[in-house]
Structure 1
Amino acid sequence: MTRPSGLDRVVVINDRSVRVGGASNLAVLSANLLQNAGVAVTYFAGDAAGSDPPAPETINLAAQPLMQQTRLSAFASGLYSRQAHASLKDLISRVDTEGTIYHVHGWSKILSPSIFRALWPVRERVVLHAHDYFLSCPNGGFANYRKNQVCPLAPMSMACLTTNCDKRGYHEKIWRSARHLVREHYYPVRQVAANIVVVHQRMHEYFVRGQVQTSNIETIRNPVEPFLARPADPWKKRDFFFVGRLEPEKGFEDAAIAARLAGVKLHIIGDGAGRARLEKDFPEVVIHGWKSKDEMRVLLEEARAVVVSSRVPEPFGLAALEAVTSGIPVILPDAALLGEELAALGCGLTFQSGKVETLASGIRRLASDDMLLRLMSVNCIRRSGDLAHTPASWLEALLTLYDGVLKRANAVRMRPGIAVDTDIPAAGRLIDETS
């Protein structure tokens, strides 16, 4: 698709301006793709400037991620960052036109809900990219981290508010709930149909549960590039691999326990707070740390299968798709939004979320049946092409999205007798008076 005729600029908004996984990788990629397509891009980020800015005009607030701040500082700036609000408001006043799109990828790690106060006057042209569930669920995962279970509760209900589901404690749950209320006050997605992008169609049901207005929700799957340049022969290999952050919600310990029970060698590509625990309790696990794409390619050529053991309902599951598009079968939880799809296509197995014994059983099955592995590998290559975008088709989907958003915004603006209210919501004004 060619650039929409009414598109003047895209302001990409994200906590980070460097590739540190997940939303940040995609935010930076979108900036690069849009610029290559001739679209003017401004990148607005909460972190310090890196050596390779994602756009010629990159605005960095030089703030630290909340996890690196003192507790008091994180408590305050995580609820409302005055700097983020003032800087974004100034940027909007300087660059805004009727053809400017504001695309929010991430805000929960540095920028805070204050950015939504600045974005409210231009909300008809704001796109919220749901890489997680924070627009609906206060802990962002629809998970009870204490019980390692997918949460069945309605977000912000009394049952939700009185449940200690946060991995850091109930005080953190209360703070996250307060932050959720602040964001909803400044940008009430329960009252107003915001332009929201979800990365898998099954995310829609989680947003419905959170009472989010869904009329302007669109599904755009993430772009995926295979781990391997050309398919390997996984049925000839013996070792299993886990790729991801070593954080509790990723279930790295479940993968290690299941591999031990199944009697297979587990390799881990990734790092995080859980590394020391793995090294102490599971010395048989080979931990490679973070690796470049080229280094990962060499390692994963020796993979029999990739284990995805997340304890939360992963919205997309990038590692799983990078594996299957390389011809490497996967085993993943039934709560993963891709689980049923990949199992139905014969690209892998699912196990009961949070049940290590069922994960171990699945690993044993994949470890012992070369014919099954070979069939799955063939299915991966033949059937996985429609599960995700390529970078080129993702850019086309974004441009189509922007075209639709601008047309809808223009229709609202031109409707006789309709004036777009640029004031913040009443509840937001009450907060503003005390901030």
Structure 2
Amino acid sequence: MTCTRDHVEGIERIVVIHDFATPEGGAGVLAIQAVQEYRRLGIPVTYFAGATDGACEGLEGVDLVGLHANRLLDTSPALAMMQGIHNRAAHNSLKRWIASHDTENTVYHLHNWSQILSPAIFAALADVENRLVVTCHDFFNICPNGGLTDFSRAQPCNFKPLSLRCLASQCDRRSGLHKMWRVARQVHLNRLARPVRSKATFTFLHDRMRTKFEDNGFCAHRMVTIPNPVEPWSRSRILAEQNREFLFVGRLGSDKGADLAAAACIQAGVPLTLVGEGELEGHLRQAGGELRLAGWCNRTEILEHARRARALIVPSRVVEPFGLVILEAAMSGLPVIVSERAYLAGDCERLGFGQAFDPAETRSLTELVKKIATDDATVAQMSSKGFVRASELASSAAEWSERYIGLFRNAIAKRQMA
């Protein structure tokens, strides 16, 4: 069923809340896409952002409100420490908007809060939480560092968040002091968001992500899995079996495994194009082999690289709750070589368009690259299966917005019945 105006009747306005008014990162892209889908259905939208300067083109016709703040990393350490735990300006601004504009048929869609808005945003939303949907793009709603990851060793962390073992672990990207600050923020978040008693609905990108939340003590009353919407890079199948190059798309960091992809391709003697920017860029430029660093690319530029690719390598050392590029590539006809730490890895193998490996076993990635580089028949088969079946793991934009509209309508109906 496709949403029509009849299906959204009763929703007077949707307030989308996110750190940024620009499509920064996967969460930012989806926050802006949510606005566009809601507007396509004719629903008035207010977009509340921590940083409203330089708002992107996708917000035309939207009531844009919020702050002119900078991300925490771009402010002084002292100010970042205070505002990161409780951004009073964000709380007061949203609280005032709700007091002046809220109605019984206004609903709220919260995306990310960790870079500007802070846990304070949950306190501002407390009075309307029965009409609030929170999309968990990452693990910040349960984990101090947001990744259920030991970033100091670039591997998943299995300690229960805020347990004694968690507190004793130096898992932060930066320092032990920063970890202590993150712990303080998590304690404050738990006090304000109170997931055990919250009337909000929390959504997750994959069933394994939801299970991970539950296994770590997150027990909100309303929890729903809604896969991300995915658009392929190419609408026609890329003939991967005719290509020689391999492709990496993502941040050039050790957690994303850019160095693993480079090392495997150098050892296998095949070319690799790396799309993205990050701290490993200098190292990769000196690595030798047939590496080409393309820098940041828009979707049109990514497609040009993808058309020359034989497979996409996604070698993350850390947990990937969804992995948008995995399906963007597979739906375009590119086989994927994917870290088993990505929640989609098992799905890719099950549907026949991907092969998984353990990023701790670097030799296994090299052997997979060698196999894909020389086996045209397998590559053609994987390419065809991805082009046909990868969409089963994602939502279309219309399906995705329809699921959220259903959640909003249910929240309004329950409010009216109460």
TM-score bracket for the superposition, by shorter chain length: over 0.9
Q: Deviations over 1:33-77 (max 9, x none)?
A: 101111010000111322536252111411111121222221111
138-147 vs 280-289, which moves further: 280-289
Match of 1:318 among 293, 315, 324: 324
Does the alignment pair 1:398 with 2:409? no
Does the alignment pair 1:250 with 2:231? no
CA distance in 1, matches of 2:323, 2:58: 27
Kindly indicate whether the alpha-carbon contact (under 8 Å) linking 1:194 and 1:217 is maintained by their aligned counterparts in 2. Answer: no
Shift of 1:409: 3.1
Shift of 1:152: 1.2
Kindly indicate whether the alpha-carbon contact (under 8 Å) linking 1:306 and 1:330 is maintained by their aligned counterparts in 2. Answer: yes
Does the alignment pair 1:17 with 2:24? no
Match of 1:115 in 2: 121
Q: Residue type of the partner of 1:312?
A: V
After superposition, the Cα gap between the structure-2 partners of 1:359 and 1:409, relative to the gap in structure 1 and judged at 3 Å, is: farther
SS at match of 2:79: helix
Question: Aligned ranges for residues 214-225 of structure 1 at < 5 Å?
Answer: 214-225=220-231
Match of 2:175 among 169, 174, 186: 169
SS at match of 1:10: strand
Match of 1:101 among 98, 107, 111: 107
Kindly indicate whether the alpha-carbon contact (under 8 Å) linking 2:129 and 2:198 is maintained by their aligned counterparts in 1. Answer: no
CA distance in 2, matches of 1:117, 1:80: 10
Kindly indicate whether the alpha-carbon contact (under 8 Å) linking 1:12 and 1:103 is maintained by their aligned counterparts in 2. Answer: yes
52-61 vs 115-124, which moves further: 52-61
Shift of 1:338: 0.4
Q: Deviations over 1:365-418 (max 9, x none)?
A: 21121111011111112222211111121121121121122223333xx2xxxx
SS at match of 1:132: coil
286-295 vs 36-45, which moves further: 286-295
Shift of 1:273: 3.0
Q: Residue type of the partner of 1:358?
A: S
SS at match of 1:206: helix
How many positions carry a matched residue from both structures? 412
Match of 2:296 in 1: 290
Match of 2:284 in 1: 278
CA distance in 1, matches of 2:286, 2:65: 42
Q: CA RMSD, aligned part only? A: 1.6
Kindly indicate whether the alpha-carbon contact (under 8 Å) linking 2:315 and 2:339 is maintained by their aligned counterparts in 1. Answer: yes
Match of 1:378 in 2: 384
Kindly indicate whether the alpha-carbon contact (under 8 Å) linking 1:155 and 1:209 is maintained by their aligned counterparts in 2. Answer: no
CA distance in 2, matches of 1:193, 1:360: 48
CA distance in 2, matches of 1:23, 1:409: 28
CA distance in 2, matches of 1:11, 1:110: 17
328-337 vs 273-282, which moves further: 273-282
SS at match of 1:122: helix
Match of 2:156 in 1: 150
SS at match of 2:393: coil
Shift of 1:354: 3.3
Match of 1:428 in 2: none
After superposition, the Cα gap between the structure-2 partners of 1:140 and 1:95, relative to the gap in structure 1 and judged at 3 Å, is: same
Does the alignment pair 1:410 with 2:416? yes
Match of 2:37 in 1: 33
CA distance in 1, matches of 2:19, 2:287: 34
50-59 vs 6-15, which moves further: 50-59
Does the alignment pair 1:238 with 2:244? yes
Does the alignment pair 1:89 with 2:95? yes
CA distance in 2, matches of 1:60, 1:309: 37
CA distance in 2, matches of 1:408, 1:177: 35
Does the alignment pair 1:335 with 2:356? no
Match of 1:56 in 2: 62
Q: Deviations over 1:277-329 (max 9, x none)?
A: 32234574211111122121111100100011112211111000000100110
Q: Residue type of the partner of 1:99?
A: N
Kindly indicate whether the alpha-carbon contact (under 8 Å) linking 2:199 and 2:221 is maintained by their aligned counterparts in 1. Answer: yes
CA distance in 2, matches of 1:240, 1:109: 33
Shift of 1:7: 0.9
Q: Residue type of the partner of 1:240?
A: F
Shift of 1:230: 1.2
Q: Residue type of the partner of 1:151?
A: C
Kindly indicate whether the alpha-carbon contact (under 8 Å) linking 1:153 and 1:159 is maintained by their aligned counterparts in 2. Answer: yes
SS at match of 1:306: strand
Structure 2: any 5+ residue segments left out of the alignment? Answer: none
Q: Residue type of the partner of 1:135?
A: N
Q: Deviations over 1:242-268 (max 9, x none)?
A: 001223321212211222222221101
Q: TM-score, normalised by structure 1?
A: 0.91
SS at match of 1:288: strand
SS at match of 2:125: helix
Q: TM-score, normalised by structure 2?
A: 0.95
Structure 1: any 5+ residue segments left out of the alignment? Answer: 415-435
Match of 2:353 among 340, 347, 356: 347
SS at match of 2:8: coil
Question: Structure 1 vs Structure 2: percent identity of aligned residues?
Answer: 36
CA distance in 1, matches of 2:67, 2:316: 32
Kindly indicate whether the alpha-carbon contact (under 8 Å) linking 1:207 and 1:214 is maintained by their aligned counterparts in 2. Answer: no
SS at match of 1:250: coil
Q: Residue type of the partner of 1:103?
A: H
Q: Deviations over 1:331-372 (max 9, x none)?
A: 111121100000111101000133322222221121121111
SS at match of 2:202: strand
